[in-house]
């Protein structure tokens, strides 16, 4: 992640001490090799009540939000939170199959699982959760200035269409819970259930909000436009959401992420956004 390009080395250097400290506090024994994603390290551990994983990430606001999200869903389609220490950036979680994610499953299977997961997580959300409508409204105020600052990296018609769609998407009557970071790599094999979500980001509103991420994280396996549309239809069907409305969300969030990824200095994701936007343009 871009933040690791600028900082984080001090936290990385402190990890051995952090692991020993947290294991002592929760009476855990390291029982396997560490693994990591883009923002955290997870270590298999054993405690008096069974096997778990210790997850460590730099302390901050996001840690508290992740803990709150896991407590809210309480194992409903998500990994079970056993204990947490937000100040230390530590969570004790049920043991899933590390290294075996939905990313390894065929795209057809992944789209079906992710769509059904979107629907399963869509229980009434807490009123304090960030609103998808508000996020869109706020993002719309920055998109055109960002597009100008980046040298107008794509045709203005794409920007105008995204802003037009955003006007509608910034209004919703839905109070459903949304995982705003749902994609294949965030779903691991479980024991309680075949697949469980890790690191959910809790929002409230339209469950199609982040459908674009479901697609662009597997886009390299969709060589033709027809493949993209077919897999989109699979997700929409599994999630039981309106197709045209979902298409609007994909296009808006694609343009949104296209601008963000260019601002962050990413190189591959803007090209994926270009392909995905083209598949749903017009």
Kind plus residue range of the DSSP H or E element containing 26: helix 9-26
Q: What is the mean pLDDT of the chain?
A: 94
Mean pLDDT (whole number) for 134-152: 98
pLDDT at 99 over 90: no
Mean pLDDT (whole number) for 171-184: 95
pLDDT at 5: 62
Reported confidence tier of residue 138, pLDDT bands at 50, 70, 90: very high
Q: Which of 17, 16, 57, 52 is CA-nearest to residue 36?
A: 57
Tokens matching residue 175:
């109070």
Mean pLDDT (whole number) for 185-214: 95
Decide if 175 contacts 203 (C-beta within 8 A): no
255-265: pLDDT as tens digits: 999 999 999 99
Burial class (CB in 10 A: 0-12, 13-18, 19+), 34: middle
Decide if 214 contacts 267 (C-beta within 8 A): no
The yes or no reply on domain 2-94 and CATH 3.30.980.10 is no
pLDDT at 22: 96
Q: What are phi and psi of 281, to 5 degrees?
A: -85, 120
Decide if 256 contacts 139 (C-beta within 8 A): yes
Domain boundaries, the chain: 2-94, 102-279
For the domain made up of 102-279, the CATH class stated in words is alpha beta
pLDDT at 7: 66
Please tell me the distance from the alpha carbon of residue 279 to that of residue 274, in angstroms, as a whole number. Answer: 9
10-47: pLDDT as tens digits: 888 889 999 999 999 999 999 999 998 778 899 999 99
Reported confidence tier of residue 282, pLDDT bands at 50, 70, 90: low
pLDDT at 3 over 70: no
pTM of the model: 0.92
pLDDT at 222 over 70: yes
Mean pLDDT (whole number) for 95-105: 92
């Amino acid at each position: 992640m871009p933040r690791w390009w600028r900082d984080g080395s001090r936290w990385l250097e402190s990890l051995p001490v952090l692991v020993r400290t947290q294991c002592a506090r929760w009476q855990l024994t390291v029982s396997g090799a560490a693994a990591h994603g883009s923002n955290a390290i997870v270590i298999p551990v054993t405690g008096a009540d069974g096997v778990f994983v210790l997850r460590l990430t730099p302390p901050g606001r996001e840690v508290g939000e992740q803990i709150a999200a896991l407590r809210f869903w309480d194992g409903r389609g998500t990994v079970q939170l056993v204990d947490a220490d937000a100040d230390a950036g530590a969570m004790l979680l049920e043991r899933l199959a590390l290294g075996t994610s939905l990313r390894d499953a065929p795209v057809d299977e992944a789209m079906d699982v992710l769509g059904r997961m979107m629907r399963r997580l869509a229980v009434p959300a807490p009123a304090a959760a960030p609103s998808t409508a508000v996020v869109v409204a706020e993002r719309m105020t920055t998109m055109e200035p960002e597009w100008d600052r980046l040298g107008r990296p794509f045709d203005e018609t794409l920007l105008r269409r995204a802003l037009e769609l955003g006007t509608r998407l910034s209004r919703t009557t839905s109070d459903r819970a949304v995982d705003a970071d749902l994609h294949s790599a965030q779903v691991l094999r479980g024991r309680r259930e075949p697949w469980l979500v890790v690191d959910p980001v809790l929002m409230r509103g339209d469950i199609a909000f982040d459908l674009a991420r479901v697609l662009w994280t597997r886009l390299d396996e969709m060589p033709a436009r027809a493949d993209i549309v077919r897999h989109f239809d699979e997700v929409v069907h599994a999630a039981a959401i309106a197709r045209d409305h979902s298409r609007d969300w994909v296009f808006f969030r694609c343009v949104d992420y296209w601008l963000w990824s260019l601002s962050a200095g990413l190189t591959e994701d803007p090209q994926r956004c270009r392909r995905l936007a083209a598949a749903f343009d017009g």
